[in-house]
Amino acid sequence: MRPTFYLKNLAVAVAAFSVASIASAAGLDRSGQDITAFLQDGLYAEASYTYLDADVTGHDNAYIGEDNKAYQQGKKIDDAAESYDFFRYGVKADINDTFSVGILYDEPFGAAASYSGDNNFVAMGDRDAVIKDVTGNPAYSERVVDNVVIPTLQKKLAPGNPQNLSPVELQEAKAQLTGVITAKKIADAEEATKGEGTNVEVRTESITAILGMKLGENKNFQVYGGPVAQRVQADVKLRGLAYGPATGYTAHISPDQDYGWLAGVSYSKPEIALQAALTYRSEIDHNLPIFESYPLASAASGGALPTSRADSIDITTPKSVNFDFQTGINPTMLATAKVRWVPWSDFAIVPPLYTGVSKAKYPEGLPLVSYDKDQWLVELGLAKRLTPALAVTGNIGWDSGAGDPVTSLGPIDGYYSAGLGAKYNVTENWAVSAGGKYLWFGDAKGQLPTKDIVGNFEDNDGYALGVKVSYQAK
């Protein structure tokens, strides 16, 4: 007698809780862009909610010197990662035994970070402390700079070189004067934003329409594809001495919607509950309205740039490849695997005013956010049907991260994870699923676009909880 593999029950159990990544674990990846709802048998619909809470703490950098890679443990940074949640929905239906259609909604990319406390990522508003820190001279204060340092340097640089300084001495005096004036302007920006911490929030939403066509004598093969509509918005605030002249920078990127596409191929063998799918999602180019405020922009650019400007910004969300696999081990047990690749090394956020100011020192300009490496995600799981109504699942995972050091707006270098989930059939067609996942984050140093190390983040973790309601009818 041929064994029966309970694919319907087990497949939904495995999907009971699937969180591919967490904010900035690798780039901005969040939902993992799962399409398994479309791969279910018959008429299928699901709605899921996921809540994630990460604990990301560390210390700022107390080092003062010329080596931008050097690090000396400074003041404590309390939890910089904000909790967040997101929804996913999916509906799939068979037109006939050959064609299927589906609609999926998810929130694929995002970031949520907020610094607080007494550290270099919060504007403290202490003008003398700022001047001492920026100039690296503990003897300086605003009074000393105004009444002694600046007048002395101005005399040295008076027209005609009355003190007969050598070219090297003149250059040193110019650099010192520029330094103390910049320190005063940074103190102005710090005072104007006193008490505010560095903050970033990025949210995206995607709707994917899919048309699938089954091929072969037994309809084991399926090709599928369709358009993707994606909406992006973001807010960024840089505060504190960690950002130097960029402290006080604020950017608001207004929502915008643009389009890409998805394509894939799958193979199934129901008698052993085998299913494999390879899915490609295209990158999506966005042109979004942006308003930037940069208090030191005029001073840093020699008056060439304003301190605030409304403009537009080009952002391209990355392409991705997902591989989903499952197969029956015995009539009541299923093994699963998921592999995901996202080329975050191709991604960058390049605000026009921020980048324009950076060109005074870096001719090619600096992005606000970029990554050094691509992301790889691997998850392995098992699902077990305990009773006709109840199935449980467990999985382990690894995320490579997108580089270390990494942007200070998301200082995590990947993670390891372990999760448990369960699915209960309330009726023949309706089911409720729930699960949880624990994540151990990789240690990372936070860096600026200039590659200066500004913090160190170690021994951090997080957890995720999810619930799903699903309906399936063959």
- The tens digit of pLDDT for each residue in 28-81 reads 888 889 999 999 989 999 999 988 888 999 999 988 777 888 999 999 999 888
- The helix (run of H) or strand (run of E) holding residue 306 is none
Place of tokens 């899915």: 279
Query: How far is 348 from 205, CA to CA, in rounded Å?
Result: 19
Predicted pLDDT at 19: 35
Q: Which residue has the higher pLDDT, 181 or 260?
A: 260
Query: 343 forms bridges with which residues in the sheet?
Result: none
**Nearest alpha carbon to residue 406 among 114, 21, 28:** 28
What's the CA dihedral at 376, 461, 31, 113 to 10 degrees?
-110
136: left (phi over 0), alpha (psi -120 to 50) or beta: left
Helices (H) and strands (E) in the chain, counts: 7, 24
Q: Which two tokens stand for residue 319?
A: 């392409």
Predicted pLDDT at 68: 82
Q: Which residue has the higher pLDDT, 30 or 276?
A: 276
Read off the pLDDT of residues 462-474 as tens digits, 9 standing for 90 and up: 999 989 999 999 7
Average pLDDT, integer, range 339-344: 94
Using omega within 30 degrees of 0 as the cis cutoff, is the peptide bond preceding 405 cis?
Answer: yes
Structural domains of the chain, with CATH? 7-123+193-473 (2.40.160.60)
Read off the pLDDT of residues 392-432 as tens digits, 9 standing for 90 and up: 999 999 999 888 888 888 888 889 999 999 999 999 899 99
Query: How far is 427 from 143, CA to CA, in rounded Å?
Result: 77
Residue pair 239/123 in contact (Cβ under 8 Å)? The answer is yes
**Nearest alpha carbon to residue 253 among 51, 111, 106:** 111
Residue pair 23/45 in contact (Cβ under 8 Å)? The answer is no
Lowest-pLDDT choice from 180-189, 359-368, 462-471? 180-189
Q: Which two tokens stand for residue 100?
A: 């299927």
pTM above 0.85, yes or no: yes
Query: How far is 352 from 367, CA to CA, in rounded Å?
Result: 9
Predicted pLDDT at 25: 58
Residue 1: pLDDT band with limits 50, 70, 90: very low
Helices (DSSP H) in 157-246: which residue ranges? 167-192
Query: How far is 353 from 248, CA to CA, in rounded Å?
Result: 13
Predicted pLDDT at 159: 82
Residue 20 has pLDDT above 60, yes or no: no
Average pLDDT, integer, range 299-324: 91
Question: What mean pLDDT value characterizes the chain?
Answer: 87
Predicted pLDDT at 183: 82
Query: How far is 208 from 354, CA to CA, in rounded Å?
Result: 33
